[in-house]
Amino acid sequence: MTSRLTGKVALVTGAGQGVGRGIALAIAKQGARVGLAGRTVEKCEAVAKEIAEFGGEAMALACDVSDAEQVRAAVLATAGHFGGLDALINNAQSSVQRSLEKTTIEDVELSWRSGPLATLHAMQAALPLLRERGGGSIVNFGSTTAIDGSPKFGSYAMAKEAIRGLSRVAAREWGRYGIRVNVVVPNALSPSAERFRDEHPDAFRAMERRLTLGRVGDPEQDIGRAVAALISDDLAYLSGDTLMLDGGV
């Protein structure tokens, strides 16, 4: 562990696996105390145990981000347990992939509720807590599928670009409070990416060859450590920006 984030308290949504787990481990190793929110609380408890094993502090929270009250409760529970809040990391998102021709309103509503609305609800709940601390950092998540216009990601792309717009507005409105808002666009070995790798190894290797750096990112080392930098004082003058952690796509 290092002391870069000692004294800071963060909430990570979708913290039980993949990118969320990687972020939670990375920031805890740098001294942050972490609220771990996820739909499957057992997965978050397992991550909390990992953090405890190297001397960090974390608490697991059951939270379906598509439910506004559960989102608010997770924010308040984290702040209540650790005595405040310095960083909010809105990683969780659900979606269904289909062609635009077959995309349903239910698909769009799922992405909308678990994406932009969940992000907004968490940000609104966190605002007074961050103001009490004299500022803080919010990290939201975009997607290369939205920026590139990847086929079959219509409802997801809509949600992810909405999050980027929301983030830019929040950066403008909340900068006066010392609150920084940035977006990360990751390319990392999530559980779905691992399944794709295992089920379609040739296609996965071909995809990696198209990446400038030749590999898919590691959730902790490549994404988590960058998020740790974003919520630290090292990048205290960065706000309203999108950080492309996509291996050079």
Q: Which residues are catalytic?
A: 156
Distance CA 88, CA 163 (A): 14
Contact 11/88 with Cβ under 8 angstroms? yes
The two three-digit tokens of residue 121, written as one number:
């609800």
The two three-digit tokens of residue 245, written as one number:
């952690």
198 CB-contact burial (10 Å; exposed 0-12 / middle 13-18 / buried 19+): exposed
> What is the number of other CB atoms lying within 10 angstroms of the CB of residue 42?
10
> What is the number of other CB atoms lying within 10 angstroms of the CB of residue 175?
14
Main-chain dihedrals φ then ψ at residue 206, nearest 5 degrees: -65, -40
